[in-house]
Amino acid sequence: MTQLSPTPVVVLPNFHSIGVDGIRHCKIIGTLGPSSSTEETLRALILGGLNIARLNFSHGDHAMHKKNIDLVRRISAETGHPVAILQDLQGPKIRCGKLIGGGLEIRKGESYTLVYSAEQTDPKIIPIDYKDLVKDVSVGQRVMMDDGNFILRIEAINGQNVVVRVEEGGLLKPRKGVNFPDAKLSLPAMTEKDSKDLLFGIQNGVDYVALSFVQDPSDILGIKKMIKAMGSDIPVIAKIEKLPAIDTINEIAQVADGLMVARGDLGVEGDVEKVPGFQRLILAAGARHAKPVIVATQMLESMIENPQATLAEVADVANAVLDGADCIMLSGEVASGRYPVECVQTMVDIIREVEHWTFKRPDRYSSTDRRKPTNNWEDHEAIARAACEAADSLNAKAIVVLTLTGSIARSIAKWRPVTPIIAISPRPEVVHRMSMIWGVYGMLNELFYNTDALLAQLPEQMKKLGLVASGDTIVITAGIPINHVRPTNMIKIHRIP
């Protein structure tokens, strides 16, 4: 009988030490930067529990990102930890231009004029780099600067210029961000820089691409068209950071491959106290459409400088896990903070603690938020639900998914089963992409199409990897016959000999 080669298998080696019962379901994203791009630190992050490495294309050049991609791939292969790479495109960020004297004191009650320009020529003019501003804004709307620290209001539109009055002022520095929370801007979702960066990402095999400042579904459809034209099928994450996106969140969730709750810009665009509600709304949309959701921004902000998180931060992370986030993301904490490895360990500890007592609640897979009338279900949805129920009823150690695209694994994860999901695929890119999906861990197997050999040898292989032991039960789903590339149509209950 054909034996399964151990060479292509990718699993978390700590399964041997913690067992399948001890794995995390919620995943961790860390942004690479000066504090986390050395081999020693990155290896410690990956061994410590980092699931996805984020490359922020608002900073650095292609040479730096290429170095980080190669380093992540090498360490992932050496350690056996599958790590996905998320390319985060900069997007059309509006900024003020160069200011006289290196800064401008904008005073409460005074008026200034926003002018399309790269450089300030008059103390009462604020240059910005958005040419068509007058077409998108109206008198009475707010203008936010420097991450919302300064608030201005539009009082007149004179030709191509916009007159604003300061409500909350201070020292404005060059190149600070400018937001227009009450307007839907006609800026293209993809800039020329983004297009070049996207091509670089595709050529270097990133696993996900995040599109910034998404406003409606057409933004996602546009970048997907570009990706297809470049010969790729890289999944697209919609960053929800503008209020118009909230209004069309279900439509965006339908066409995107995942969502990100970008709380920083959401807090600037809208009232800060509304951000927790936005977060739950976005998480619900992701759950409804079986799309992973990332919760980001200021998760452990104090750990940029301090070795321990505050109680408020711990509660914030815990609530994101409780609300159903697939991933929680660290930005400056890992990219430029003093304690990047400690930040990931803190995340791991919080997630484990929350999941330990959360999973004691019964019937996790029957959440009404994820239900729809059964007469509208497709076959794969019924299979996914049945797999969760079978695993729960039999106290199975794992739900094993044989998949070409990962879609059935996402469907099963949607129901949030206690049982870990092991997704086996012959496609390395699918194995990496599973790193973002709640409760799913990928394994690469090149004998995927040899049905008899795969199903016969799979239990023994899982025993060797420390996933199961003799007497354990696993639930297997697949499209049979596998070599005909069929949709998932089978559930098999198997007891490990």
Distance CA 296, CA 406 (A): 24
The encoded tokens of residue 251 equal 């439509």
Which of 43, 242, 297, 385 is labelled catalytic? 297
Residue 67 parent element (H or E): helix 62-79
Q: Which residues contact 401 (CB under 8 A, 6 or more apart)?
A: 408, 409, 412, 421, 422, 423, 424, 440, 476, 477, 478, 488
Which of 73, 93, 95, 184 is labelled catalytic? 95
CA atoms within 13 A on the CB side of 356: 7
User: Is 54 among the residues known to form the active site?
Assistant: yes
User: Is 95 among the residues known to form the active site?
Assistant: yes
The encoded tokens of residue 89 equal 């495109």
The string over 65-94, giving b where at least 16 C-beta atoms fall within 10 Å of a residue's C-beta and e elsewhere, is beebbebbbebbeeeebbbbbbbbbebbbb
Distance CA 53, CA 272 (A): 28
Tell me the one-letter amino acid at 272: V
Question: What DSSP character marks residue 278?
Answer: H
Distance CA 234, CA 220 (A): 12
Which of 24, 27, 43, 54 is labelled catalytic? 54
Which of 239, 291, 416, 433 is labelled catalytic? 239
Q: What are phi and psi for residue 259, nearest 5 degrees?
A: -130, 150
Q: Report the catalytic residues.
A: 54, 95, 239, 297
